[in-house]
Amino acid sequence: MSGQDPTANRLEIPAEPYPFVFDPKHTALLIIDMQRDFLEPGGFGEALGNDVSQLRAAIEPIRRLLAAWRAAGLLAIHTREGHRPDLSDLPPAKKIRGKSAIGIGDPGPMGRILIRGEPGHDIVPELYPWPGEPVVDKPGKGAFFATDLHAILSNAGMNRLIVAGVTTEVCVNTTVREANDRGYDCFVPADCVGSYFPEFQEMGLKMIKAQGGIFGWVGQSADAIAALERA
């Protein structure tokens, strides 16, 4: 698409396995599941025994990237993992997986866990969507499964994604793979994604950029911001 557009703007971000080239007009910033239940002390993530500071480290880099993205007037999209209050879109297998004492739909520290409309399901205040920024509610790990994300992106002429959010090995990786299969090139800023497990953070990023960028590119948010500022 960018090759046919006389106004195309080809920006370059240093990345692995090689520089990521993108036209900001055709690139969306996709922020995955930066929800209070995953990130805040006292939420579902912590109740399961996870160290939320591992995820919270991504908030400030995402905030800076989002600010630069918004300042340039570009498309930012947010996702939230969660389910209908009557649980009709929650597969029984997902409900019982893990056999933990509290699960999806149960009362939790911030309302019913991962239920749309509950405080814990909402996005952390630091990254709260602006009016007009699409928020995609997804019942699965991948942001394309059972959502209108692909329609929103293609109707807006997007062919590249910058993917941030949590967790690196679960919803970020699943979404990048889904996007790759649908023809999107994805850049993942390593400092803007987080995992409760350092080894999964490392391997989750390695799997994206392996074999010549089998699923996408990995780099740093400061380089993405610098590319935007140069433009």
Please identify, using beta-carbon distances, which residue of 170 and 225 lies nearer to ligand C5J.
170
Q: Which of 23, 37, 141, 171 is catalytic?
A: 171
For residue 192, indicate whether it is catalytic: no
The string of DSSP codes covering 106-132 is: SEEBTEETTBTTSGGGSBPGGGPPPTT
For residue 171, indicate whether it is catalytic: yes
Q: CB of residue 45 vs ligand C5J: minimum separation in angstroms?
A: 8
C-alpha 190/C-alpha 176 separation (Å) is 13
Q: Within a 13 Å sphere around the CA of 76, how many CA atoms are in the beta-carbon half?
A: 24
Q: Which of 138, 141, 186, 209 is catalytic?
A: 138
Q: Are 120 and 37 in contact (CB under 8 A)?
A: yes
Q: CB of residue 196 vs ligand C5J: minimum separation in angstroms?
A: 8
Query: Could you give the 3-state DSSP secondary structure of residue 169?
Result: helix
Q: Which of 23, 33, 37, 122 is catalytic?
A: 33
Q: CB of residue 34 vs ligand C5J: minimum separation in angstroms?
A: 9
Please identify, using beta-carbon distances, which residue of 19 and 109 lies nearer to ligand C5J.
109
Q: Where are the alpha helices (DSSP H) in the chain?
A: 36-39, 44-47, 53-56, 59-71, 92-96, 149-155, 173-181, 198-213, 221-230
Give bridge partners of residue 83 from the DSSP assignment.
115
Q: CB of residue 188 vs ligand C5J: minimum separation in angstroms?
A: 14
Please identify, using beta-carbon distances, which residue of 18 and 145 lies nearer to ligand C5J.
145
Please identify, using beta-carbon distances, which residue of 146 and 156 lies nearer to ligand C5J.
146
Q: Are 141 and 33 in contact (CB under 8 A)?
A: no
Q: CB of residue 81 vs ligand C5J: minimum separation in angstroms?
A: 5
Interface contacts to ligand C5J, rule CB under 6 A: 33, 81, 166-167, 170-171
Please identify, using beta-carbon distances, which residue of 13 and 164 lies nearer to ligand C5J.
164
Structure tokens at 59: 């908030």
- Tell me the backbone φ, ψ of residue 108, rounded to 5 degrees: -130, -175
For residue 209, indicate whether it is catalytic: no
C-alpha 74/C-alpha 133 separation (Å) is 10
Active site (catalytic) residues: 33, 138, 171
